[in-house]
Structure 1
């Protein structure tokens, strides 16, 4: 009788560990989430609208118009088209993989663990920096409102970064602390507050458009592209971070009601509303004020209305709307950041504290406190121009991965249930990737360098710590033994 040879389990190679793919969640796993499903379609749509409108309109015109001139209108359109192509890809994945974590979770289920960590680095940059950028812009409108109502503003030392002549941006830090306290109270309360603030925001922007069109001057569009097509694309790069809110819808995958249906249509509905309002406000603003006056202008929409009417009250109205509505953007961005870290922690790729859920509020409270503290420091110390570009490149990189994930999942799981399918596949994902790369090439070298260093640091964390703690890796090792 031949000797019996002991069969030893074969461990995964280093390369196999890096590209191991997380199984798609089953219906049972979706229902077993500790997070509470309390967000309906309308609220999901307003998460997208609320997390987007404001970042591009209330203050980014002062950065983008000097780059593109009146052709900044085309910058918005181009950024909207690229975001739209990607939104279609997000819609397909959101209906197929309805979990927290957004494109991190999508990459983990399609491309593998190492690419997922790279995407996580992009998302942490995207959400963390955009939240800080919005908070910095918010402080400008706080000052404008204080000056209009009481005749004084906050001292520069307490409302600007060192690069802008101050010491710390205190209002920006206070805003983030307020958002954190609301999120810790509960998701239902946060969503309700966001709904009210978004509706107020839309009414305020409609008021701006109506008043701004009374000061219309077609001569402002005479020199339409002073910096040529390169200027238009540079403007798109600055503006692109304005579409980060669309991504925020997909971070609510485990707190959405009927996610396979509601997530895809909420993403697309938010995109349509956001792009339409952006273009309308940009056209009205440029028709009312010469492009040369936008550079360095703080609280720009308020200033435009004050010039048209010759009084401060319209600007006060817009400033008040901005103060209230930009709060909603910080709220949604902070929400998205915490849910991404929640998903990573549950997978063993981030410290365990980020997945702890409060038994009272059913929210990741400790996670929210840590993220808000880091975001507040960034907002208090860095200028808005640098923050805007860093958000754009993080968003673009995440969008590229989502588009690639759609093609991979179509090939690997052709029979997967998809409540929404991107049309003209693979043309839409390919065009989305090409559009994102086209915008990236026009960003400043320092932005690309800092982004590369940041993602490299996240991947180093994974290789040294996260890979060993991976829940997927532990499960596969147990199965092999």
Structure 2
């Protein structure tokens, strides 16, 4: 039996804050900024570090990237359809709760929240690798850790300034990195050397195993396809713009990813790439000689990662905000200032900072890959619940009336997205699934506490009404 907290019915809400409470610091997102939010969150640290992370699997990882792109676009289309049905802040949390009740909604919110702040820690670890190209830090662990923390707190401060500034930072960061990255990706094809590719399958785990394992790592590069859906309450005309922004942002990122990864694989020797901490810088240095190109790319990488951290910090606060308003997360997550859930931002950046400190004090060898695989598992939980919600609504005939052709098309997309999510869980590996399940079980205890609290409040309200 679920808690007695009433669900909020879908309305034409276009912002996460009542109109009477808006200020000059609050501004809803239009299609360009919503698209920039999606693309900016997708193109973060992934494109700059992941080519080196999957190089040990061989060029089969390029095939994995192509398959992953198909799955990511299927997810994007599903989220677009779901946002048409429920255009409210919260994304996967809203869809799971509306379809399956409070507990499923809580699991979606909890898992997505974990994904967000662990991803921030992973992005910070990745960013330090490129910062080291500009300012040598590798000989000082305290300086490296301080730099990673700074890269997390600056975007958090931008979020605390208000949604007006979040959108501005996101748009500028996306524009600054999109054109140079596309130029580098296309230019690298002219320096492509097939001898640099290395073996097709280099891990010794078999083609299918290497394909699944590399795809699980590469999913990190596509986290963010749901960004506009999660922030639907801050998007103008969400029924129309969320779906469009999701597709445009995902497709644009996919083009850059595929061209960029192929260029890096073809310009950096395989043996060198497997040990690289700044593969795009190494690729540009190989293309043009010297270190100036690698330095320029390192600057672009930092801009990209700060932009991604800016967007992910907002997303990490939006889901617990939506859940807190429904009584499924602690109430302080529902506090807003200048259009931003400030408590969610602060809790997220503190947790990510603590995880970063732990990583550096415990030893950072392979930390990025470990964090990426954990986020892969936790991200697939809300993804799978969202696609299951879409299948549920399509199969039950609920919601808007659509043509038979669209019903079939939406059903196929939802099935592909669900199969894709299950495949990624399998590819995450036992260690990542083990750690992810521990995170989920910790959330079950939180849900038990919140559910009991809501029942006590409902019983107390009932007693008061009876006495009256």
- Report the TM-score, using the length of structure 1 for normalisation: 0.86
- After superposition, the CA RMSD in angstroms is 2.8
Report how many aligned residue pairs link the two structures. 449
Three-state SS of the structure 2 residue aligned to 1:254 is: helix
Within the candidate set 211, 220, 223, 1:244 is matched to 223
1:434-449 to 2 correspondences below 5 Å: 434-449=419-434
Contact 1:92 1:422 in 2 (8 A): no
Secondary structure at 1:237's aligned position in 2? helix
1:210: Cα distance to partner? 4.2
Q: 1:28 to 1:275 in 2, by over 3 A?
A: closer
Q: Which among 70, 76, 80 is matched to residue 87 of structure 1?
A: 76
Distance 2:395 2:341 in 1: 35
Aligned residue number for residue 231 of structure 1:
210
Q: Give the structure 2 partner of residue 396 of structure 1.
A: 380
Which stretches in structure 1 are left out of the alignment for 5+ residues? Answer: 1-15, 147-151, 161-168
Moved more, 116-125 or 260-269: 116-125
Question: Where does residue 374 of structure 1 map in the other structure?
Answer: 351
CA deviation after TM superposition for structure 1 residue 264, in Å: 0.8
Deviation per residue, 1:420-460 (Å, 9 max, x gap)? x6752422212211121122112221111111111111012
Report if aligned partners of 1:17, 1:473 keep a CA contact under 8 Å in 2.
no
Distance (whole Å) between structure 2 residues aligned to residue 196 and residue 357 of structure 1: 25
Q: Which residue of 2 aligns with 1:40?
A: 30
1:101 aligned counterpart, secondary structure = coil
**Following superposition of structure 1 onto structure 2, how do residues 6-405 of structure 1 map, counting pairs within 5 Å?**
16-17=1-2, 22=7, 24-27=9-12, 33=18, 36=26, 38-67=28-57, 69-146=58-135, 152-153=136-137, 155-158=139-142, 169-221=145-197, 223-227=199-203, 228-358=207-337, 361-382=338-359, 383-405=367-389
The answer to whether 1:462 aligns with 2:447 is yes
Structure 2: 5+ residue stretches without partners: 360-366
In 1, the alpha carbon distance for the partners of 2:417 and 2:289 equals 44
Q: Distance in 2 between matches of 1:74 and 1:457?
A: 36
* Distance in 1 separating the partners of 2:316 and 2:62: 30
Deviation at 1:139, TM superposition (A): 1.1
Question: Residues 138-158 of structure 1: CA distance to partner in whole angstroms, max 9, x if unpaired?
Answer: 111111112xxxxx4353412
- Name whichever structure is richer in helix by fraction: 2
Q: 1:81 to 1:392 in 2, by over 3 A?
A: same
Distance apart, 1:211 and its partner CA: 4.2
Give me the TM-score of the superposition, normalised by structure 2.
0.89
Which among 409, 415, 418 is matched to residue 430 of structure 1? 415
Shift of 1:226: 3.3
User: Conserved in 2, the CA contact under 8 Å of 1:133 and 1:387?
Assistant: yes
Partners of 2:177 and 2:407 in 1: CA distance = 31
Show CA shifts across 1:237-278 (max 9, x none): 001021111122212111111111100111111111111111
CA distance in 1, matches of 2:333, 2:355: 20
